[in-house]
Amino acid sequence: MRSKTALSAWMTAGLLAAAAFVVPAVVESGAGGTAYALTTAPPPPTPIPCEPSTSPSGTPPTAPGTPRIGSVLLNSVGLSWTPATDEDGIACYRVMETRDGVTSGVATFGPDATGGVFSLRWPPSGVAFEDHELYLVAIDKEGAVSPASGSVTVRIYNDIIASPSPSPSPLRITCRVDYRPITWPGGMTATVEVTNTKSTPVRDWRLTFLFTDPGQTVSTGWSATWSQTGREVTAAAPSWSTDIAAGQTVHLGFNGSPSEGGAVQWRLNGEPCTLRVLTS
């Protein structure tokens, strides 16, 4: 008869051995015999990819808010949006574009994103600019896709414009704009700071830009002569300040109707400006 100590050691060894091996499960065979199948631990959960499902379960996410354009610099675009909601949890957001009847994704952002920066393709050789109509969809963790958000149009200008000359000139950036929009019930106020980054003065300056919201309007403005045609807004130099010296900054602004859209394609005397959108 084994001692208690020996029995205990034997049981411990047996338990350790059992933990080290896969335990066979007994399965009834079709002929009434017994078959053995190895059982394994369930695999670890696989992260759900950010891909639409052909048969999603649950309710699709709500549509994200219409994207707002925060910046356009060369072919780099910054968008922001109001997030979607979903009972299963958001897996990702995709920026989409439909061109020539083909829909494709141009950027993907994580589930907590409310904005991001991405690049669009350059216009084809010899084409001055190309418009991109962009919108957002949200995809949840079950692969359900939300309805499309509203769309915005982004215009990308070619960095090199074809000309008869054998040496085409690159597009020059000669100014910087700091744009600070502030909304209030029933309207908005925007301040604009324009800096001449060239080494020479800008004579009889004329600033232009485009509203992304076709319904956005300028009602009054200061420190410039303001006008608007469709989405394009022009601020022309006042009679008492017609030039901007090299490195100088002029301060102007306007009041207008409220909008969630942005202001893009800033140009000073026809030449593009870099844009910073300030929120505080």
Per-residue pLDDT tens over the stretch 92-116: 999 998 877 788 888 898 899 888 8
| pLDDT given at position 157 | 85
Q: Which residues of the chain have pLDDT under 70?
A: 1-49, 159-172, 280
Any idea of the CA torsion for 176, 106, 66, 151, to the nearest 10 degrees?
90
Task: Check: CB of residue 258 under 8 Å from CB of residue 187.
Answer: yes
| pLDDT given at position 194 | 95
| pLDDT given at position 49 | 60
| pLDDT given at position 50 | 78
Q: Tens digit of pLDDT for each residue in 224-277?
A: 999 999 989 999 999 999 999 999 999 999 999 987 778 888 999 988 998 888
Distance, in Å, from the CA atom of 227 to the CA atom of 261, rounded to the nearest integer, reads 19
| pLDDT given at position 102 | 81
* Residue 225: HSE in the Cβ half-sphere, 13 Å Cα cutoff: 10
Domains within the chain, CATH numbers bracketed = 68-157 (2.60.40.10), 175-277 (2.60.40.290)
| 77 CB-contact burial (10 Å; exposed 0-12 / middle 13-18 / buried 19+) | buried
| pLDDT given at position 16 | 44
- Entry pTM: 0.45
Q: How many CB atoms lie within 10 A of CB 231?
A: 19
Distance, in Å, from the CA atom of 226 to the CA atom of 243, rounded to the nearest integer, reads 17
Q: How far is CA 277 from the centre of its chain?
A: 15
Distance, in Å, from the CA atom of 128 to the CA atom of 226, rounded to the nearest integer, reads 27
